[in-house]
Chains A and B, each alone.
Chain A
């Protein structure tokens, strides 16, 4: 049952003791960050030193950090250690705007692997399991993050990577895969491909799916579990905090335990930036406690969630987060990729053939997220080929920027709906939204 822990002392640590640990680690992290050219002047101005921190509540004295701060200090401006201590760089998507860069020391990598291994153990995975990863390997943390954790756990890891469903199917059958890491939409997509090829996912050895990086509903989870005849656990991570391994559901499947030995967790009103009453919806704000190359203080995730009340029967003392209820900014998550409308707008504005209005529509088609972009033409032309090449070119340039290929549709004037005179930029018609 749920009586086993990867790290019993940490996972079941009583609240008071956990807070003490957080205070200790926060002090250490502040000391480290005083080496960062980004935080040092801020701390100086606010008079912050490690000694200012007496209780976890003193976190309120610290400044916020935003994604824009990461962009403004691209690439290494937030380093808190000399660069020779950095052993790996991960980065967000994007080729036109500045990407966000996250630095890892060897200790950060080890810590990350250990925490994600803890998350795997928490959902019942052991060193006897065969864990197949469908995330892309590369700058995206879902590849290597899961890889190192599976190895730390001692499982047999299958670094199959993104795409090529038939190859995934072959590995699942030939290697006797027991656990799959994927985004929820791919879990349904892969199941469909398997069925088309005469394999019922329920007949495979897969008993567990780790699903994350994409918001999904309880109904969608149930459907995935039904399709696979397996348990599906919601896993939360973000590259700024390390990658996958920040929070995970336990086998109770009722909220994600966020690992408080590694993070101070705040839920704030996104407008006032004050704490919301316990249990109410607000923006998740995280402070790293166990990272040295690039610690972040009060990082605004823009994910909306709430704390679930009361203790979890599994025995873990770390607080639980509810399913994410959306965003406090305009970020979209499509096929596990984080996309801002501004990225799309920047590409569209490069084309003199286009007027300024556009509409992004997100739809679920055959269990897949699809993005349709309707763009207004500036002028008519008699040249048919030019129009066809134009949509192709836009589609290609967008693929470079947002890493997925949208359908681009050219429209005339007045087709894009306006509300209160302001253009509506995004319409999300997906089943789970």
Chain B
């Protein structure tokens, strides 16, 4: 599978809940590479890409924090205007819906983290498109 692991963490909107997550990761020298948050007035979902997702998941669960892992695509594109559009378009023209996406920059390039509704269909489309899929880094 040409996907990467994403860690999703359930956080209540209370003072200190985010700090608890960050401290736990820091103590085990787990690096955070990308972050996105979806939030309501009651809670948020913190989505992380870290240097060791499985270790991070175990660590957080051990600390009484709800966390789980799921598959997302990481698409590396040039930071020009057309590339972003091309990446999104190759999915949507095949009827694949994007549930959410976020980005981070890596070595002067842009990485799109994309969660889709049809994982296997998306994999075929993306592989055929010639877009660069990141399967892990370092």
A residues neighboring B (CB under 8 Å): 377, 379-385, 387-388, 409-415
What is the bound-complex CA distance between A268 and B10, given in angstroms? 49
Residues of B within 8 A of A380 (CB): 8-10, 45, 66-68
What is the bound-complex CA distance between A387 and B8, given in angstroms? 13
Report the interface size class on chain B: 20 to 34
For chain B residues 1-34, which have a beta carbon within 8 Å of chain A? 6, 8-12, 14, 17
Known: A380-B45, A414-B64. 5 other contacts (CB 8 A): A380-B66, A381-B8, A381-B10, A411-B43, A412-B17
Residues of B within 8 A of A377 (CB): 10, 66
What is the bound-complex CA distance between A147 and B12, given in angstroms? 48
Distance in angstroms from A359 CB to nearest chain B CB is: 13
Residues of A within 8 A of B68 (CB): 379-382
Distance in angstroms from B19 CB to nearest chain A CB is: 14
B100 CB-CB contact with A under 8 Å: yes
Are A379 and B66 also in contact (CB < 8 A) when A387-B45, A410-B42 are?
A: yes
Are A382 and B66 also in contact (CB < 8 A) when A409-B42, A411-B12, A412-B11 are?
A: no
Identify 9 residue pairs between A and B in the complex whose beta-carbon atoms are under 8 Å apart, listed by A's number: A377-B66, A381-B45, A381-B70, A382-B47, A410-B10, A412-B12, A412-B66, A413-B64, A413-B66
Residues of B within 8 A of A381 (CB): 8, 10, 45, 68, 70
What is the bound-complex CA distance between A404 and B111, given in angstroms? 48
B85 CB-CB contact with A under 8 Å: no
Closest to B45 in A: A384
Closest to B66 in A: A380
What is the bound-complex CA distance between A383 and B99, given in angstroms? 8
B40 CB-CB contact with A under 8 Å: yes
**Chain B contact residues: over half helix, strand or loop, or mixed?**
strand
For chain B residues 22-64, which have a beta carbon within 8 Å of chain A? 38, 40, 42-43, 45, 47, 64
Max count, chain A CB within 10 A of own CB: residue among B11, B42, B66, B67:
B66
Residues of B within 8 A of A384 (CB): 38, 45, 100
Residues of A within 8 A of B76 (CB): none
What is the bound-complex CA distance between A390 and B56, given in angstroms? 26
What is the bound-complex CA distance between A172 and B42, given in angstroms? 40
| B65–A413 CB distance below 8 A | yes
Closest to A411 in B: B12
Max count, chain B CB within 10 A of own CB: residue among A379, A380, A384, A413:
A380
What is the bound-complex CA distance between A382 and B70, given in angstroms? 8
Distance in angstroms from A407 CB to nearest chain B CB is: 9
| B40–A388 CB distance below 8 A | yes
Closest to B9 in A: A380
Residues of A within 8 A of B99 (CB): 383, 385
For chain B residues 76-118, which have a beta carbon within 8 Å of chain A? 99-100, 115
Closest to B8 in A: A382
What is the bound-complex CA distance between A103 and B5, given in angstroms? 62
What is the bound-complex CA distance between A400 and B45, given in angstroms? 29
- Of B9, B14, B43, B100, which one neighbours A387 at CB under 8 angstroms? B43
